[in-house]
Amino acid sequence: MKTLSQLQAYKENKEKISMVTAYDYPSAKQAEAAQIDIILVGDSLGMTVLGYDNTVQVTVEDMIHHAKAVRRGAPDTYVVVDVPFGGVGISEQYDLEIAVKLYQQTSANAIKAEGAHLTKYIGNCSRMGIPVVSHLGLTPQSVGITGYKMQASNKDAAQQLLNDAHAVQQAGAVMLVLEAVPADLAAEISKQLDIPVIGIGAGKDTDGQVLVYHDLLNYGVEHQAKFVKQYGDFSVGIDALTEYNREVKSSEFPDGNHTYKKRVMDEDTK
């Protein structure tokens, strides 16, 4: 199984880290077959596979269900599972109980928590033996306040994000995801931190990159962010389903090649 030590060595050796956000057994199997370094079971599954309006509707039970499927599909890949909205920030005891539940029941290698305000939480989890990946910049659970836009777009905000990145590392975060921040700032944060920094919409000079499985394969995507590049096109599935529907309606399917041909009705069954 891929380990945190190996990922840390990638950073030190300036070898890029690949991360894919995936949510189920078949996508996890494909990611592992492609030798992706990390699978993130993100709470974006709410919109991508569950049809919710946003990540706020995703529950702890949703995350556990999908993360367990991912682990079964990718037993040798480093797996990170999101702490969903409401899974942290209630009380120290509650927060730790949810962290333990996510980490223990999913067999993930780490949990991921959004926000610079969670330094104490990161420290508490670390002391419990639960690795935490921090997520700064654009944090989807807070888009009701921040909106979907580039973060840290002025000098003061950039300095604050740099300070926050150092703070979460000091608290014990084992990795950092930076989303939708200026490329030069992301490069500087990656340079200054000792832990791996994974970017999404943060330029090419971070220690690694993450994209969502469905985005990079154009699989049921309705809106595409500026930073997404498509590497395949699963929309051909619509054409295939349309043709299947046509053949069923016209009785072309199933034909003789897809039918069991033994004629049991002609046999003497006495």
How far apart CA 211 and CA 200 sit, in angstroms, is: 7
- Number of structural domains (the chain) is 1
Amino acid in the structure at residue 189: I
Residue 38 lies in a domain: yes
Task: Estimate to the nearest angstrom the gap between the alpha carbon of 108 and the chain centroid.
Answer: 12
Residue 20 lies in a domain: yes
The model's confidence at residue 149, banded by pLDDT at 50, 70 and 90, is low
Residue 195 makes CB contacts below 8 A (sequence gap 6+) with 8, 11, 169, 173, 174, 175, 176
Residue 55 lies in a domain: yes
- Which active-site residues does the annotation give? 179
Q: Residues marked as binding for 3-methyl-2-oxobutanoate? A: 43-44, 82, 112
Distances (CA, A) of 154 to 94, 148, 150, 181, 183: 36, 16, 10, 11, 13
- Contact of 32 with 70, CB cutoff 8 Å: no
CATH number of the domain within which 33 lies: 3.20.20.60
Taking only the tens place, the pLDDT of each residue in 41-88 is 999 999 999 999 889 999 999 999 999 999 999 999 999 999 999 999
Whether the predicted pLDDT of 115 surpasses 60: yes
pLDDT recorded at residue 117: 95
Q: Residues marked as binding for Mg(2+)? A: 43, 82, 114
Residue 245 lies in a domain: no
Q: What residues make up the domain containing 172?
A: 4-234
- Contact of 132 with 126, CB cutoff 8 Å: yes
Residue 122 lies in a domain: yes
Residue 219 lies in a domain: yes
How far apart CA 215 and CA 63 sit, in angstroms, is: 19
Model pTM above 0.85:
yes
